[in-house]
């Protein structure tokens, strides 16, 4: 796995060097709206620590960081008012998943019927 890049776009957002449309901030996490939403609601939740991807976060983060991050995802869904209607959380890891930003993040999609799971590959 590549080393963490301190200049990735989410690191810059965490340092306040790039603006974001913030939803919530906790001790362990930041949630903000995706710049190119793929659903009526598309929020990203990121840990404040320097983790490249889900594999890195799950392997190296401390229990408090993991718990705090999961609770921030749940809090984001509550604040967005989508717990009853439903939402999908998704994390891309690595090339096959087309992870673009090398700072671990969870996408939270909601606001319409999202269909079932993933689309088959285009031919
Ligand atoms: P990935 O493909 O890495 O799972 O998703 C990266 C996400 O970050 C994409 O949905 C993309 O639209 C979003 N994104 C990239 N740059 C920015 C930015 O500067 N601000 C915000 N809010 N979202 C961004």
Token code pair at residue 97: 């998943």
- Gap between the Cα atoms of 23 and 5, Å rounded: 24
> How far apart (Å, rounded) are the C-alpha atoms in residues 19 and 112?
27
Pocket around ligand 1 at a 6 A CB cut-off: 9, 18, 20, 32, 34-36, 44, 92, 98-101
Judged against a pLDDT cut of 80, whether residue 123 lies above it is answered with no
Residue 105 annotated to the active site:
yes
The residue whose CA is least distant from atom 17 of ligand 1 is 35
Joined together, the tokens standing for residue 114 give 């999202």
pTM of the full structure: 0.96
Q: Is the pLDDT of residue 95 over 80?
A: yes
Domain coordinates of the chain in residue numbers? 9-110
The pLDDT value given to residue 121: 74
Can you name the residues that pair with 47 across neighbouring β-strands? Answer: 29
Question: 9-110, superfamily in CATH?
Answer: HIT-like (3.30.428.10)
Q: How confident is the model over 15-39, as a mean pLDDT?
A: 98
pLDDT reported for residue 22:
98
Q: In what order do the strands lie in the sheet with 106-110?
A: 22-25, 29-33, 41-47, 106-110, 87-90
End-to-end CA distance of the chain: 30
**pLDDT score of 46:** 98
The whole-number pLDDT of residue 10 equals: 98
Q: What is the mean pLDDT of the chain?
A: 96
> Distance between CA atoms of 56 and 92, rounded to whole angstroms?
12
Provide mean pLDDT across the span 62-71.
98
């Amino acid at each position: 796995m590549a080393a963490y890049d301190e200049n990735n776009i989410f690191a810059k957002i965490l340092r306040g060097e790039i603006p974001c449309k913030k939803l919530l901030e906790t001790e362990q996490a930041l949630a903000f709206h995706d710049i190119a939403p793929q659903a009526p609601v598309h929020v990203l939740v990121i840990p404040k620590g320097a983790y490249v991807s889900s594999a890195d976060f799950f392997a190296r983060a401390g229990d408090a960081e993991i718990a705090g991050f999961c609770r921030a995802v749940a809090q984001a869904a509550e604040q967005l008012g989508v717990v009853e209607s439903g939402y999908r959380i998704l994390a891309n890891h690595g090339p096959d998943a087309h992870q673009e930003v090398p700072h671990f993040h969870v996408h939270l999609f909601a606001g319409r019927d999202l269909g079932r799971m993933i689309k088959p590959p285009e031919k």
